[in-house]
Every structure is written in C-alpha cells, then in structure tokens.
Chains A and B, each alone.
Chain A
Amino acid sequence: MTKTNGMSASAAGQELPPLDSPEVVALHSKMKRRNRRGRVFTYVSAVVIALWILVPIFFVFSMAFTTEDTVRSYPKNFLPFVPFSTETMSFFLSSEGVLRGLANSVIVAVITLVLSTVIAVPAGYAVARYLFPGRDLFRLAVLAVRAFPIVVLSIPLAVLFLRAGLFDSVFSLALMHTALALPTTILVVSSVFASVPYELEEAGQVFGATPLQSFRYIVAPMVLPGIAASGLFTFVLSWNEVFAASVLTLENRTLPALVLTSLSNSSDAFQFAGGFFLMVPSIIFMFFIRKYLFNMWGQVSK
C-alpha cells in the first residue's frame, strides 16, 4: 500500500480513458468538487477531535503549574499557566507518601517491564518462527488471558499473597502486573519477530554463524526498537494500573493507588498534580509507541 495508492480518488480518476469524453470530464470534476468539500470536512473533524482530546489535558496541566489560590478560584482563568507557579506541584510532592508512591510506581513498573520482556521474548520468537503442534492453542490461551477482567484476578491473588506473606510488597504487585502484561507483550514481540525475514537468519547461518550468533548479530539489532516499544507499553500499563495496586498494597502504595484512596479527602490541588504525574509518562511514551500500535491491535484482532 503505497502513498499514491492511498490518494485513491483523484489518482484513480485520472487513469480512466478516454479522458476527454464529456461524461468523464463531468464526472471527474464532480468527483473533484466532492472530494475537496470532503477534505475540508475531514480537516475540520480532525481539528475538532484533536481539541476535544487536548483541551482537558491542557487544563489539568495548567492547574498543576499554578498557585493553590488559582486552583481554588472561580471562575477560572482561561489563559494557560497564569500565574505560573510550582506551588501546586511542590505541595503535592511534599504531601505524605507521594515521593514513596512515585518510587514504588517506578520500581513496580521496571520489574514488570524486565520480567515480562524476559519471559515474552522467547515465547514471541517461538510463535513467530516455529510451526509446532499446539501453537494455535498457545496463541488462543494468550488471547484469552488478555480478555480476562483484572478485577477477577486481583482478589484471589491478594488472598494468595496474604497467605504466602507476600502481601503489600512492590514485588508481589509486579508479579501481578507481569501476568496482566505478558499476553500483550508476547503478541507484540511475536509480530516484531515476524517482521524480520527468516531468510536473513538463514543467510547468516549459511555464512557460518551458529543459530545463536545469527540471532545475536542479525535479528537482535533489527527487533530491538520493537521490543523497546513493547517494553514501554508494559511500563505504561503498570504505571497506570490502579485496581490491583489498590487491592494488593496497603502501606507500599503506588502512585495511582495512593491518589485513588485519598481522592475523597484531598484537595483539588493534590488531585490535579497527581493527575499530571499519572499522565506524563503515557504522553511521552505514546510518542514512541505509536508506530507499533497497529501491530499490537492488528495482531489482537486476528
């Protein structure tokens, strides 16, 4: 699917012979007019939708970087970040448990990232490269896990961790998040491996490399960006996850769990600054992941 193919309407219209017959000319100009109107409509829709998404984000960001008085004030100032101040932010960061929650969130997300990548890479490679009895069953099982509701899993895991003395630890939460992230990670990694032709690996072996060497020097460099993207996705998933985090932790709250359980008795400033911290990683990471989004969900919809 190339770019020229994509500009379907006008390109295809021009290929129609004979171009000078009056019917074709009339049809062509009608299509062109319709097309131009359509494009204007499309741009307008695009801008409206983009505003619908951006305005709320923008508002919370400006609230997170202003004085506490402004957060409390009414009616709100529409000018962004006026007056600009780190007062809200420093109030939030100095609140009890916030720094620890931030640290816990980072630790949980990093453990989840490492654990799920280490487990998913071999499995993804197997699904992408080998035809083996049970392959479809495995894919199906992985998809089924993805579709299971999180709430169903967190209560029994909490009970199990309580019994095993692992309750309320960042590590047990990371174990849970890994179970949640693993299916998606496996599917994404396998689609990344599938995009590297096996011939390249084979060629390496023809020239005398062992299978491991050809993996290390040929495949690995090509799949690294994709695997990094899936790792970032895992990180964001863990960073955002709030239900299991609230159920599985008590003292060692992660940031989302902390913000959630203090929603009812915290000030607006605390909430907006918390919202800002919850959103920032995803905004950054979405930028790097967006290329792979369609890989992920194209896979899943198979």
Chain B
Amino acid sequence: MANNNEGDSGEDPNRGMTGGTPTAGDAEPIQAHKPGWRSRMVPYFLIAPALIYLAMFFAYPMFQGLMLAIFDDDAALVLVDEPSLDGDEIERLTQGTRLNILGRQGNLLTDQSDATDLLTEQWFLVSGEAADGSEVSGWTFEARVRVRDEAADGTPVGGTIRPRLGAGADEATPLLAEPNETSDTVAELEQRAPVSIDDIAILEVWFQVQAAEDPSTASGWAPSRFVEVFDDEESGRVDEGSVGEFTTGFISKMFNDSFFSDAWQTTLLLMVLILPLQFVLAMLMALVIDARLKLGSGFLYVFTLPMGMSDLAVGILFFSIFTGNGLLNSILEAFGILDGPKTFLSADTIPWIIFAIVLAELWRATSIVMVIIVSGLQAIPRETLEAAELFGAGYWQRVRHIMLPLLLPSIQVALILRTILAFQVFAVVIALGGGDIVTVLANETFRQYFEFRNNNVASAYALFILLLSMASAFFYLRAVRAQTEVAKT
C-alpha cells in the first residue's frame, strides 16, 4: 500500500489515528488542549475563515440562485393613491398591462441607484424681490426661470422669471414651499424679476395611470421609470414591475421549453448507459490495482490519469477518434472494414454520438470510482479473505460474497458522486454533439444563460439539477441501507 506508509510507523496503535489510511476520518482526535474558554474557542477561530468564505461564496449565492428560479423580481407594478413613495397601495398591475395615462407630476428623486434614463424634471429654489419690495424665496419649476448666469461647472446660479404667455394667464409666478406642485404657495414673483438660484431639485415624473383594457380597476400613481409611454403620450404599458412576487412561471417555462424533454431524456439515457458499465470497469480496475502487480504503481498512475483531466479535453480526445478523418475511421479502413470515411458525429447519426459520449465518460470518470473502491478494498481485513480462501472459495466467489458486500458503503458513495456528476455532464457533450444535436440539462442551463440571456430559466434548470441530485443521493442512501439490512438478516 504505497499511499499510507508515512506516519504509520511511529504511531501508537491504540491511538486509532492511522494517518493516511482510508479509515482516518473515523478516528476521533484527542482533546489536545487544556480546558478553559480561551482554548475552547481556538478551533472555532480556525474554522471561521472557511465558514465565512463558504457562507459568502457558496450559501448566499446558492440561496440567491434558487430565488431567481422561483421569484420574479419585477412581477407587478404597484399603483399608489398619491404621487409619493409614502402613498398607499391601491392596485397591482402585471408586467405588460396596457395603460391609459391620466396625469403626470414630479416627485423628488430619492434613490438614484439604478436610475439611468429616467424621465425627470428640475425645480429651482429661487430668491428674489417681490412686488412689494420684500425678499422672498421658494421653489419653482425649471421652465419658469430663464437661466442667465451659470457657474463654471455649468450649474445655473441666476436668471429671471419668464413671462407667462397666453390670454388670461396669471402674470405672477407662485413660489412653493417644497419642490412639489401640491405644496403651498409661499410667495409670488413678478415676471422678469431677477432671481438667484440657490438650490436645484431633480424630480422624477410620476404618472397617474389606469389599466386600459379594464376600466373597473382603480387608477393610481406610479413612477415613470416603470412605464413605457407610447407616441401619443396618453397611453403606455407596464414596462417593468416595481415589486417581486413568487412565481412558478420560470419553472413552467423550463418544462415547456422545446429542448427540455430532449435534454432530460438524454441526461437520463446517458446515466443509465454509463453507470453500470462504469462500475463493472471500475471494479475490474480496482481488482487489478489490488492484486499488487509488479509495476503496480505505474499501472496506478496510468489508471488515474483521466481523473485529473478536464471533461473538455476528454471531449476533444474522443472527437479526434470519432471525427470524419479521425482515428476510428483510419483504423477501420486499414483493416478493410470500411471503404471510405464514415460520418459518426452528425445529426443523422445520433446513436453514434451517444455511443461516443458513453465511451468518453467511461474513459474519463471511471478512475474516480476505482479510487473509491480501492480505498474500500484496502479497508477489508486480509484475514477475512484468507479465511475464505482456506475454506475453498475461489477468486470470484471471494469477490462476490466477501468483497462486494463489504464494499457496499464505498460503492454507495461512488454511486452518489457519479450520479451527481452525471447530471452535470456538459463539455463532453458539447465537444461531441455540438451543443444542439444532442443536448443535456447542464447544456440547456448554459444556453439559457449564455444564448437566451434568461437568468431565471437558467436558474430553474439549475434548481432542477439540484433537486435531481438530492433525490438520487437520498434514493441511494435508502436503497443501500435497505440492502445492508437484508444482508444482515
């Protein structure tokens, strides 16, 4: 056993900490440090960075991601009873609803976080001399002031009140207490009165809207950023919602996606084809390694080579074999089986693509199963096997009746691991199947994200893969436990 010689020799056998052996995880470490709250806290300090990191970059994004699949960020537009953030909700309209625009008003912009192309208006805080000679100050709409004086950076600092046009118009311009049409008038200024501009407020336009197709709904106010206004300036639609809602929409969109059933069936088909073959091959490889041949460590190195390889590289590897002018065609022609190159990887030869993917996955992922099984084999007491041999059990009998039952926990772990990885099979499929001829779940996740730019449906796919993984892990845990119990009775 080349792997665990170090550390074993100098150790007290009663410690139960046999270092590198596969059983090391079972060994309980000794309470190494003196009691006292300070030393009791030490291990928590040591694991804290790992915990914080996993919380930040694993748990939190995972939670966010699963929310993406079931939570629609802008599902509905809330209409409130007055054009202000404090208004009470009176109606919710779903995204896309046609609107009639009944009125508009500015409202002080409080957050500019994601505001880029907002419909805004400016109000000025002006001060000047009123008709009676007193100094007055108040807010007025930008359009009421002709800016005549600007600071170096372009900020308006002074101007005159514009004259009002049209018959019957009030000649005086009211100054308001707040930059809001509904606030009280505090003073009035004559036209052409010189003013200084003391402050500028940027207001977002709010619309008073009503659902166009359903006049029975109440009208209410909503910020213009959520509304797309049509050319007539009197109608529009809900462009984006202001509040999120839980929805099954993305999940049903995934189920109804035209590639979904293909992807799901292919993933399952590959798993059913690959897993049994893989475990037989892995068992064979493990028995070869366990036989301790001369050159054993050389064989171990070769057998584990694929473990470190990326699935993409393996995909390319098998592409080089199955492609039109590849190795397989060359060999077949050299042996006279084929007269010319046969196309294996095309839309007309999907079974061949599946076959190539199965081979590639067998090549790539069998090593890890083998390593797990070898770990399990090494934990089987030699005495047990020798006793069986003395009682006349042949090699295959020993494999069947002693090794396999004792390997059950290892096989369970390998099965869970391989099944989870099988749901994620991705690059091999793209390399051999082009990404659209043969598709799998992970590929659809990628496409939804990368090609269709639909994070929500991509997350729904991811959620689906996660649930499948968890369900299969649960199933294996139950199945293997049940089998162990049957074996005991």
Q: Taking beta carbons and an 8 Å cutoff, which residues of A are in contact with B?
A: 1, 3, 5-9, 12-13, 16, 27, 31, 34, 38-39, 42-43, 45-46, 49-50, 52-54, 56-57, 59-60, 63, 72-76, 78, 118-120, 122-123, 125-132, 134-135, 138-139, 141-142, 145, 147-153, 155-160, 175-176, 178-179, 182-183, 186-187, 191, 194-199, 201, 222, 236, 239-243, 246-247, 256, 259-260, 263-264, 268, 271-272, 274-275, 278-279, 281-283, 285-287, 289-295, 297-302
Contact = CB atoms under 8 A, between A and B. Distances in A.
Given A12-B390, A147-B417, A293-B3, A178 B57 contact: yes
A295 B430 contact: no
Contacts of B459: 155-156
A126 B46 contact: yes
Nearest to A232: B308
Contact of A294 (B50, B320, B374, B435): B374
Contacts of B318: 56
B116 interface: no
Contacts of B125: none
A75 B329 contact: yes
Contacts of B22: 294-295, 297-299, 301-302
B21 interface: yes
Nearest to A176: B57
A156 B68 contact: yes
A67 to B, nearest CB: 14
Contact of A147 (B7, B389, B416, B427): B416
Contacts of A9: 389
Contacts of A119: 49-50, 53
Among A142, A236, A298, the most chain B Cβ lie within 10 Å of the Cβ of: A298
A159 B455 contact: yes
Contacts of B473: 147
B317 A56 contact: yes
Contact of A243 (B12, B413, B417, B426): B426
Interface in B139-180: none
Contacts of A239: 310
A134 B43 CA distance: 10
19 contacts: A50-B303, A74-B341, A76-B325, A119-B49, A122-B45, A130-B29, A130-B42, A149-B423, A157-B65, A159-B64, A179-B53, A195-B4, A242-B310, A256-B427, A292-B20, A298-B21, A300-B413, A300-B417, A301-B372
A155 to B, nearest CB: 5
B402 to A, nearest CB: 12
B424 A290 contact: no
B54 interface: yes
Contacts of A297: 22, 368, 371-372, 375
B43 A156 contact: no
A60 B20 contact: no
Among B22, B40, B304, B312, the most chain A Cβ lie within 10 Å of the Cβ of: B312
A1 B23 CA distance: 13
A34 to B, nearest CB: 7
Interface stretch (B92-100, B223-231, B293-301): B293-301
Contact of B64 (A5, A54, A160, A293): A160
Contacts of B371: 293-294, 297
B316 A76 contact: no
A240 B309 contact: yes
B329 A157 contact: no
Nearest to B417: A147
Contacts of A153: 58, 61-62, 65
Q: Identify the 5 closest CB pairs spanning chains A and B, nearest first.
A: A156-B65, A298-B22, A195-B19, A282-B308, A240-B310
Among A27, A141, A149, A272, the most chain B Cβ lie within 10 Å of the Cβ of: A149
Interface in B281-336: 281, 284-285, 287-288, 291-293, 297, 299-313, 316-321, 323-327, 329-330, 333-334
Contacts of A46: 288, 293, 299
Nearest to A271: B316
B434 interface: yes
Given A38-B395, A191-B25, A264-B434, A72 B325 contact: yes
Given A9-B389, A302-B25, A275 B449 contact: no
A191 B64 contact: no
A170 B453 CA distance: 21
B420 interface: yes
Interface residue SS majority, chain A: helix
A265 to B, nearest CB: 11
Nearest to A11: B386
Nearest to B21: A298
Given A122-B46, A135-B43, A159-B455, A298 B23 contact: yes
B462 A131 contact: no
A60 B317 CA distance: 6
B263 interface: no
A147 B471 CA distance: 12
B111 to A, nearest CB: 15
Given A60-B320, A157-B61, A197 B302 contact: no
A6 B299 contact: no
A195 B11 CA distance: 9
Nearest to A250: B450
B36 interface: no
Contacts of B390: 12, 16
Contact of A42 (B61, B288, B310, B435): B288
Contacts of A53: 302-303, 305-306, 363
B434 A159 contact: no
A152 B61 CA distance: 9
A126 B316 contact: no
Contacts of A295: 3-4, 20, 22, 24
Nearest to A150: B424
Nearest to B281: A49
A42 B293 contact: yes
Given A157-B61, A272-B320, A49 B303 contact: yes
B307 A286 contact: yes
B75 interface: no
Interface in B320-359: 320-321, 323-327, 329-330, 333-334, 341
B118 interface: no
A74 B49 CA distance: 56
A123 B53 CA distance: 12
Contacts of B416: 147
A139 B25 CA distance: 10
Interface in B184-203: none
Contact of B47 (A45, A127, A282): A127
Given A129-B32, A151-B445, A260 B300 contact: no
Contacts of B33: 130
Contacts of B291: 39, 42
Interface string B124-143: 00000000000000000000
Contacts of A135: 43
Given A12-B390, A131-B31, A290-B300, A6 B382 contact: yes
Nearest to A296: B371
B333 to A, nearest CB: 5
B19 A31 contact: no
